[in-house]
Amino acid sequence: MAKEQKMEKIKKVKMPIVAKQATTNMNRTKRMKEKKKAAQGGCRKKSGPHLPSSFLKELGFQKHPPNTSEQEEGEEDDDNLYEYEEPLPEEEMKKNRRFDQVENYEYELPKGFEDEDVPSDEGEDVPIDEDEVENDSEKHVRMLQSITGLPAAAFKGMEKRNVALTDVQSDLGGKITVHDLLDPLHGKTGYSMLRKRLNQLEKAPMAVQSPLPKVEREKLERKVTYEQSKKEISKWDPLVKRNREAPSLYFAEDIDLGVSTVGAIAAEHEPRTEFEKKMAALVGNPDIMEAHMKDGGRLLELNKVSVEDVKLRHNRLAKMRNLLFRHEIRAKHIKKIKSKTYHRILKKERQKTASSEMNMNPEAAKEAAIRQEFKRAERGLKAQDEGTRAAIAEQLHQHALLKRKMNSINDNSSSDESTDEDSDKLSPGSDGEGVARLLNKAKEKTMKLMEEEEEMPKSGVFALPFMHRGLKKQREEAYEEAHRALEEYECSLKSLDGEEAECQSSPDKNKGRRIFTGPKSQLKVPSTKEPNCLSGSDSEGDFEEFREKEEHTSEIRPNFQVQSALLPSDAETGQEKIFKNFDDVVKNPGSKTTYEVAIFASDSWKKMGGENSTANDLKNTAEVHANNVIAKLDSVERADKSDSDSDIEMVDGLLTSEHVPSYKLPSQDVLIHRAFAGDDVEAEFEKDKMDALNEEIPEPEKPVLLPGWGQWTHVQKKKGIPSILLEEHEREKRKREDSLKTRKDANLKHVFISEKVDKKTEKLHAKNLPFPYTSKEVYEHSIRMPIGPDYNPVISIGALNRPAVIKRAGVIIEPIKYEEIDPYGNSEAKKKPTHSSQKPKNTNKAKLAGRKTNNKS
C-alpha cells in the first residue's frame, strides 16, 4: 500500500509540470491519463506496443534509453521499460519553432508556500487553471455527495490531504533515487532480486554500441543454437549406437495383462449419455448400495410397487388381450363364410388389383404370360415323356455295358491287375467258355426286352389310336428280329456244346501261364536240379539258369546245344519255363497230367486262330520227338528276339510258331568284334569325351569360299579366303580352347564332367547378391550354418532366429528415453536396450483401487 501511495505522489509532482506548458485542452486529457495510471498503481502490467523480441533484448542491455530529457528521468527510474510512452508533445519537438520555448522546465515551488494547511495556492499560480480545477472538483464533490449522501466537506478534505502529502515529499529536496523508493520495500519478497537488478543496471556502461547487422546476428544465433543442440544431441549417441548394434530390440517387456477382467472394465466405465447417467444414478444410489451391503430386508422395502402402477399395468394388458381376441374372431368369421358370391367377389377384386397392376406395368404382364406358357408346355411334355424315357435309359445302360467290356479288352497299360484278369478270361485258352457265356447273356437280354415291351402307354400322345397302331407294328417287327437273334444264339450254343464238354473236364487248370502251380510242385521242381544249381560257379543267376537249360537240352539231343548257346541271355526267363515244361514232359511222362491239360486248354485257341500240326502231334502222342522240341525252341527263340510283349505270345501261344527261318551265324569278323567289344576302353572313352565336349562347346565352323564373289574370275581362289574370316576363326578356336582349359575335367583324362546348366535348379540359387553383401564368398559363408531346430541345440535356436524387433501387437512404442550408459561398455552389457521402459501400469491399478474404496465408502 505504501508503494502505491508513493507512486501516486510522483504523479502528483509531475502533474503541474505538464500543466504548465500545455494548453488547457491537452492538459485535461493528459491528466486523465495520468490519473488512470495512478489508479492502476503497483499492479502495473507490462503492456504497451508490441515490439520485436530482438529490439526488446537490445533494450534490456541499455540502462537508459538515449533520451536525455530530464523530465522523463523520474519515469525512467521506475525502470518500466514496457510502459507506453507518450510521444513528445509537438511543441517540444520544436518543429518549425511554432511554439514558444520554455526555459524553465524545473518545477519550482511557489514562493508563498508555507504550510499545508493553506487551502489552495495553486490558484495563485495558475489562475486559469484554477478555475477549471475548482470547477471540476466542485462538480465531482457534488456528484459524490449526491451519490453517497455525505457532506461535501468529507470529500474535499480528502483531496486536500492528498495534495498536502505530495507537497511534503517534494519538500525534502534533491532528487529521489530509486534506492529511496526501494527502501521501504526492504524485507519484502523479491526485494533482493530487484535490488540486484538495479545494481546491474547501474554498473553497466552507459555507452551502447550499435547493434550488429541482422545477417550477422542471425548467423551468430544459429551458431550458438547449433552448438547447443549438438551438445544436447550427442549425449544420445551411445544410446543410439547401442540400439543400432543390438541384434534385436525388445518393445514388450512389462505388459500388465491383469486389467482386462470384466470387473475392471466395468469399473472404468463412466456414464455419458442420458440413459447411462440415469442407470448409473439408479445403480449407484447409495440407498440401494447400502441395502445390498447389509441384508435383503431393506431391499425388499425398496422393492415395493405402488398400487397405481400395478393397476395401470393390469389395464394395459387387458386391453391388449381384448384386441387380440377380437382380431382372431374376425379372422375366423371371414374364413367361415361359405358364400360363393362373396369369394367370387373377393377373387375378382384381387384380380382386378393384379390386372390394374399389369396395366400399369407391361413388363410384369409379359413375365406373367411367359410363366403361364411355361406351365402349359411343361404339362404337355410330362405326359409325352413317360413312354420314351424308359426306353432311352435302357439303351444308354446297354451302351455303357458294352463300352466297359470293350475297354477291359483293349486296356493293358493300367497298373491294376483286374484288367489283366479280364484279358485272361478272353484269351484263347478260355475262349469256348467265354463265348457260351456271352451267347447266354445275349439270349437273356433279348428275352427280357421282349417281355418288357408288352406294356403300352395309356396316356399322352401315344394313347391315340393311330399312334397305338403304329407302335404295335414296330413292336412286332422288333419281336421277330429278336426271335431270329435268339435262334441264332441257340444254334451257336449247340455247336459250342461239343467243345465245352471237353473244356469243362478241367475248367480250373487251363491257365497256361503259371508254372509254379503250388508250393509242393514248386519245391519239387527245383529240388531235382539242386546239384546243377550248386555246380554253377558264377554268381549271376542268369547264367545259372542258362546252364540248367543247356543241360536239359543236351539230354535230348546234342546238336541242339549250338543253338541254345547262341541264345541271347536276355530272354532266359521266359524260355526257362517252357523248357521246364518240356523237361517234365520228357522226363516223366507218368506225371504229365497238369501239363497236358495246359496244352489241351489251348485247343480252343487253335480253333479260332489257325493250324498247328506240331501241337496236334504233341497232344495226341505221349512221346515227344526231339525234332519237335527243336522246332519249338526255334519258335521260342524267335519270340524272344522280338519285342518285350513277345513273352505273352510265347506263353499262351506255345504252339503258334509257323516255320521260322533258322538262325544264321554272324560272320567271323562280327563275332570277333563282339568278343573284343570292350578291348580298348580308353580310346573309346576319349572319343566319347571329345564328342561330348563338342556338343557342349561346339567347334567353330571353318571358313569357306564365299559364294558368288569373284567366282568367274577365280579371284577368290587365287587370293584365298579373306583374312578377316580367318582371323575370326582363329579367335573362335582360341576361345574354345580357353574354355576347354578352364573346365574342371580339363586335366582329367578319364573323367567327363557335364557343365550343362540345369534350368530346373535355377530356382534354388540366388539370382543376385542380397543387399548388404558385396562379395560372393562372404555371402556363401554366411549361409553355411543351418538355423533350424533339427540342427542346433535348443539353447541357441532362439538366438539364431530372433527377429530384429520383438514387439507384441498393440504395444505402444514409447519414444527413446535418456539414460547414462558407458559408451565403451562391452557388447554383453548392451544386450537389453531399455529403449522403451514402458509406462508401469501401477498408476492405473492405484486408480482402480481408489475407486473401489470410494465405492465402498
Partner 1 sequence: MVVRRLYVGSGRNKTGGEQDAFDELDPKAKKYLRGDAANLGVIRDKKLKGQLLDKEKLYGQTAKAAAKAEKWLMPTEVGYLEAEGLEKTWRFKQETILQEVDIISSRKPFDMILPDLGPYKLEYSLGGRYMLVGGRKGHLALIDVLTMRLIKEFQVRETVRDVVFLHSEQFFAVAQKKYLYIYDRHGTEIHCLKEHGVPLKLQFLDKHFLLASVNKFSQLHYQDVSTGEIVGNYRTGLGRTDVMQMNPYNSVIGLGHSGGKVTMWKPTSSNPLVTMLCHHGPVTCVSFHNSGYLMATAGMDRKIKLWDLRKFEALRTYSCSAQSLDFSQNGLLAMSNGSRINIWRDSVGNHDYERYMAHSMVKGYQVGKVCFRPYEDVLGIGHSMGISSILVPGSGEPNFDTWVANPYETKKQRREKEVHSLLDKLQPETIMLDPLKVGTLMPPTKKDKPNKGDLEAEMEAAIETAKSTVFKKKTKGRNKPSKRARKKEEAVLKTKRPFIEQQAEDRPLKKPKVEEAELPKSLQRFVRKKKTL
Q: Taking CB under 8 A as the criterion, which residues in 726-755 touch partner 1?
A: 745, 747-754
By beta-carbon proximity to partner 1, the closer residue of 247 and 380 is: 247
Q: Is 620 exposed, middle or buried (0-12, 13-18, 19+ CB in 10 A)?
A: exposed
Instruction: For residues 64 and 803, give the distance between their C-alpha atoms in angstroms, rounded to a whole number.
Output: 67
Of the candidate residues 254, 349, 538, 819, the single one contacting partner 1 (CB under 8 A): 538
Which of 122, 127, 120 is closest to 110 using CA atoms? 122
Name the segment binding partner 1 (CB under 8 A); options: 37-45, 202-210, 497-505, 764-772.
764-772
In the complex, the smallest distance separating the C-beta of residue 584 from partner 1, rounded to whole angstroms, is: 16
For 172, which DSSP code? T
Specify the residue, 172 or 534, whose C-beta has the smaller distance to partner 1: 534
Which range, of 80-88, 96-104, 766-774, 833-841, touches partner 1 by CB under 8 A? 766-774
Q: Where are the alpha helices (DSSP H) in 337-361?
A: 340-360
Look at residues 587, 614, 590, 585 and name the one whose alpha carbon lies nearest to residue 602: 614
Q: Which stretch binds partner 1 (CB under 8 A): 64-72, 268-276, 501-509, 539-547?
A: 539-547
Q: What are the residues whose beta carbons fall under 8 Å from the beta carbon of 521, sequence distance 6 or more?
A: 594
Among 173, 519, 590, 810, binds partner 1 (CB under 8 A): 519
Query: CB of 245: closest distance to partner 1 in angstroms?
Result: 6
- Could you give the string, one character per residue 312-351, with x where binding to partner 1 holds by CB under 8 A and - elsewhere? ----------------------------------------
Distance CA 457, CA 571 (A): 66
**Are 65 and 59 within 8 A, CB to CB?**
yes
Cβ-proximal residues to 208 (8 Å cutoff; 6+ apart), any chain:
61, 62, 66
Q: In whole angstroms, how close is the CB of 673 to partner 1 at the nearest point?
A: 14
Looking at residue 282, its amino acid is L
How far from 806 is each of 296, 792, 836, CA to CA, in Å? 54, 22, 12
Minimal distance, residue 678 CB to partner 1, in Å: 6
Residue closer to partner 1, measured from CB, 557 or 750: 750
**In whole angstroms, how close is the CB of 751 to partner 1 at the nearest point?**
4
Distances (CA, A) of 700 to 38, 688, 691: 114, 19, 14
Interface residue with partner 1 among 100, 309, 417, 738 (CB under 8 A) is: 417
- Joined grid coordinates for residue 170: 517534494
Q: How near is the Cβ of 732 to partner 1 at its closest, in Å? A: 11
| Interface positions, 230-269, toward partner 1 (CB under 8 A) | 244-245, 247
Binding part of the chain for partner 1, among 349-357, 510-518, 605-613, 712-720 by CB under 8 A, reads 510-518
- Minimum separation from the CB atom of position 735 to partner 1 (A): 9
Buried b (16+ CB within 10 A) or exposed e, 670-701: eeeeeeeeeeeeeeeeeeebeeebeeeeeeee
Which class for 598: exposed (0-12), middle (13-18), buried (19 or more C-beta within 10 A)? buried
Q: Quick one: CA torsion of 326, 330, 332, 334, rounded to 10 degrees? A: 180
Q: Which of residues 344 and 776 has its CB atom nearest to partner 1 in the complex?
A: 776
Judge whether 8 and 38 are in contact, CB under 8 Å: yes
Segment interacting with partner 1 (CB under 8 A) among 230-238, 293-301, 525-533, 849-857: 525-533
One residue of 354, 402, 523, 805 binding partner 1 per CB under 8 A: 523
Q: d(Cα 754, Cα 744) in Å, to the nearest integer?
A: 9
User: Of 433, 544, 637, 652, which lies in the binding site for partner 1, with binding defined by CB under 8 A?
Assistant: 544
- Burial group, residue 548, by CB count within 10 angstroms (0-12, 13-18, 19+): buried
Q: One symbol per residue from 585 to 624: x for binding partner 1 (CB under 8 A), - otherwise; what is it?
A: ----------------------------------------
Give, as ranges, the residues between 638 and 667 that touch partner 1 (CB under 8 A).
644, 647
CB of 832 to partner 1, least distance (A): 15
How far is 65 from 85, CA to CA, in rounded Å? 12
3-state SS assignment for residue 806: strand
Which amino acid makes up residue 690? M
Smaller CB separation from partner 1, 151 or 786: 786
Distances (CA, A) of 675 to 669, 671, 811: 10, 6, 84
Cβ distance to partner 1 smaller for residue 145 or 408:
408
Match 516223366 to its residue by C-alpha cell. Answer: 588
β-sheet bridge partners, residue 250: 806
Looking only at the bridges linking them, the beta strands covering 805-806 and 249-250 are: parallel
Contacts of range 425-430, beta carbons closer than 8 Å, 24 or more positions apart: 427/605, 427/652, 428/602, 428/604, 428/605, 428/608, 428/609, 428/652, 429/510, 429/511, 429/512, 429/601, 429/602, 429/604, 429/605, 429/652, 430/510, 430/601, 430/604
C-alpha torsion sign, points 748, 754, 756, 761: negative
User: Out of 439, 533, 705, 721, which residue is the one contacting partner 1 (CB under 8 A)?
Assistant: 533
Identify the CA nearest to 482 among candidates 460, 509, 454, 449.
Answer: 449
Binding partner 1 (rule: CB under 8 A), the pick from 765, 808, 820, 824 is 765
Smaller CB distance to partner 1: residue 391 or 746? 746
Minimum CB separation from partner 1 for residue 541, in Å? 5
Which residues between 671 and 710 bind partner 1 (CB under 8 A)?
A: 678, 681-682, 684-685, 688-689, 692
Q: How far is the CB of 813 from partner 1 (least distance, A)?
A: 22
Measured from the CB of residue 485, what is the shortest distance to partner 1 in angstroms?
A: 39
Q: Could you say which residues in the range 767-806 bind partner 1, by CB under 8 A?
A: 767-769, 772-786, 790, 792-793, 795-796, 799-800
The binder of partner 1 chosen from 227, 287, 452, 570 (CB under 8 A): 570
Nearer to partner 1, 359 or 796 (CB): 796
| Nearest alpha-carbon partner for 654 in 582, 560, 573, 567 | 582
Cell numbers for 265: 472394465
Size of the site for partner 1 (CB under 8 A): 82
**385 interacts with partner 1 by CB under 8 A:** no
How far the first Cα of the chain sits from its last, in Å, is 49
Nearer to partner 1, 379 or 767 (CB): 767
Q: How far is the CB of 849 from partner 1 (least distance, A)?
A: 45
Instruction: Count CA within 13 A, CB hemisphere, residue 202.
Output: 10
CB closer to partner 1 out of 661 and 793: 793
Considering only residues 200 to 229 of the shown chain, the ones binding partner 1 according to CB under 8 A are: none
Task: List the interface residues with partner 1, window 112-151 (CB under 8 A).
Answer: none
Q: How far is the CB of 640 from partner 1 (least distance, A)?
A: 12
List the grid coordinates of 563. 543253338
Q: Considering only residues 70, 508, 762, 820, which one is a binding residue for partner 1 as defined by CB under 8 A?
A: 762
Return the number of the residue (360 or 785) whose C-beta is nearest partner 1: 785
Taking the C-alpha atoms of residue 753 and residue 746, their distance in angstroms, rounded to an integer, is 9
Q: How far is the CB of 547 from partner 1 (least distance, A)?
A: 13
Q: What is the CA radius of gyration of the chain?
A: 65
Closest to partner 1 by CB, 659 or 756: 756
The CA distance from 614 to 661, in Å, is 17
Tell me whether residue 64 or residue 529 sits nearer to partner 1 (CB atom). 529
CA angle 150, 156, 159 (to 5 degrees): 125
Minimum CB distance to partner 1, residue 604 (Å): 25
Q: Which of residues 42-71 bind partner 1 (CB under 8 A)?
A: none
Nearest approach in angstroms of CB 645 to partner 1 is 9
3-class secondary-structure state, position 698: coil
Please pick, from the candidates 189, 761, 826, 842, the single residue that binds partner 1 as defined by CB under 8 A.
Answer: 761
| 530 near partner 1, judged by CB under 8 A | yes
Closest distance of CB 522 from partner 1, Å: 7
